Amino acid sequence: MIHNPEIECMSREDMRKLQSERLVKIVKTCYEKVPFYRRKMDELGVKPSDIKSIDDISKLPFTTKHDLRDEYPFGLQAVPMTDVRRIHASSGTTGKPVVDTYTDNDIANWSEGVARVLAAGNVGKGDVVQVAYGYGLFTGGLGAHDGANKRGAIQLPISAGNSEKQIMLMKDFGTSALCCTPSYALHLAECIEKSDKVSIDELKLRVGFFGAEPWTEGMRKELEEKLRIKAIDIYGLTEMSGPGVGGECEYQNGTHLWEDMFYPEIINPDTLEPVAPGEFGELVFTSLCKEAMPILRYRTRDLTRLIYEPCKCGRTAVRMDRILGRSDDMMIIRGVNVFPSQIETVLTEFPTYTPYYFITVDRKNNEDTFDLDVELREEFYSPNPAKQMPYIKPLYDRIVSLVGIKPNIHILAPGAIERSTGKAKHVNDKRNFKG
Ligand code: DLL
Per residue in 355-405, pLDDT (tens digit) is: 999 999 999 988 999 999 999 999 999 999 999 999 999 999 999 999 999
Per-residue model confidence (pLDDT) at position 67: 96
Per-residue model confidence (pLDDT) at position 95: 72
User: Mind listing the pLDDT tens digit for each residue in 117-130?
Assistant: 999 999 999 999 99
Q: Are residues 203 and 242 in the same domain?
A: yes
Domain count, the chain: 2
pLDDT at 433 over 80: no
pLDDT at 241 over 70: yes
Question: Per-residue confidence at 88, pLDDT binned at 50, 70, 90?
Answer: very high
Q: Are residues 134 and 163 in the same domain?
A: yes
Q: How far is the CA of 175 from the centre of ligand 1 (A)?
A: 24
242 lines ligand 1 (CB under 6 A): yes
243 lines ligand 1 (CB under 6 A): yes
238 lines ligand 1 (CB under 6 A): yes
Q: Are residues 342 and 310 in the same domain?
A: no
User: Mind listing the pLDDT tens digit for each residue in 140-153?
Assistant: 999 999 999 999 99
Q: How far is the CA of 292 from the centre of ligand 1 (A)?
A: 21
Instruction: Using the 3D structure, point to which of 297, 326, 355 is the last residue of a domain.
Output: 326
Q: Are residues 237 and 380 in the same domain?
A: no
Q: Are residues 53 and 107 in the same domain?
A: yes
For ligand 1, atom 9: residue with the closest CA? 237
Q: How far is the CA of 365 from the centre of ligand 1 (A)?
A: 37
Q: Are residues 114 and 240 in the same domain?
A: yes
Q: Which atom of ligand 1 is nearest to the CA of 234?
A: 26
**Domain carrying residue 76:** 1-326
139 lines ligand 1 (CB under 6 A): yes
Per-residue model confidence (pLDDT) at position 325: 85
Q: Are residues 99 and 237 in the same domain?
A: yes
Q: How far is the CA of 27 from the centre of ligand 1 (A)?
A: 26
182 lines ligand 1 (CB under 6 A): no
User: Mind listing the pLDDT tens digit for each residue in 16-57?
Assistant: 999 999 999 999 999 999 999 999 999 999 999 999 999 999
CATH number at residue 122: 3.40.50.12780
User: Mind listing the pLDDT tens digit for each residue in 55-74?
Assistant: 999 999 999 999 999 999 99
Q: How far is the CA of 244 from the centre of ligand 1 (A)?
A: 9
Give the residue, out of 223, 233, 323, with the most ligand 1 atoms within 8 A of its beta carbon, to mutate for a pocket test.
Answer: 323
- Answer yes or no: pTM beyond 0.85: yes
Instruction: Using the 3D structure, point to which of 304, 326, 348 is the last residue of a domain.
Output: 326
Q: Are residues 112 and 252 in the same domain?
A: yes
Q: Are residues 199 and 339 in the same domain?
A: no
Q: Could you tell me what percent of the chain has a pLDDT over 70?
A: 99
For ligand 1, atom 13: residue with the closest CA? 237
User: Mind listing the pLDDT tens digit for each residue in 405-415?
Assistant: 999 999 999 99
Out of 55-64, 249-258, 332-341, pick the least confident. 332-341
Question: Per-residue confidence at 329, pLDDT binned at 50, 70, 90?
Answer: confident
Per-residue model confidence (pLDDT) at position 326: 85
- Mean pLDDT score of the chain, rounded to an integer? 96
CATH number at residue 396: 3.30.300.30
Question: Per-residue confidence at 91, pLDDT binned at 50, 70, 90?
Answer: confident
Q: How far is the CA of 204 from the centre of ligand 1 (A)?
A: 27
SS3 annotation, the chain: CCCCHHHHCCCHHHHHHHHHHHHHHHHHHHHHHCHHHHHHHHHHCCCHHHCCCHHHHHHCCCECHHHHHHCCCCCCCCCCHHHCCEEEEECCCCCCCEEEEECHHHHHHHHHHHHHHHHHCCCCCCCEEEECCCCCCCHHHHHHHHHHHHCCCEEECCCCCCHHHHHHHHHHCCCCEEEECHHHHHHHHHHHHHCCCCCHHHCCCCEEEEECCCCCHHHHHHHHHHHCCEEEEEEEEHHHCEEEEEEECCCCCCEEECCCCEEEEEECCCCCCECCCCCCEEEEEEECCCCCCCCCCEEEEEEECEECCCCCCCCCCCEECCCCEECCCCEEECCEEECHHHHHHHHCCCCCEEEEEEEEEEEECCEEEEEEEEEECCCCCCCCHHHHHHHHHHHHHHHHHHCCCCCEEEEECCCCCCCCCCCCCCEEEHHHHCC
Per-residue model confidence (pLDDT) at position 308: 93
Q: Are residues 138 and 216 in the same domain?
A: yes
Q: Are residues 206 and 114 in the same domain?
A: yes
Instruction: Using the 3D structure, point to which of 292, 326, 360 is the last residue of a domain.
Output: 326
340 lines ligand 1 (CB under 6 A): no
Q: Which atom of ligand 1 is nearest to the CA of 209?
A: 8
Q: Are residues 390 and 405 in the same domain?
A: yes
For ligand 1, atom 27: residue with the closest CA? 237
208 lines ligand 1 (CB under 6 A): no
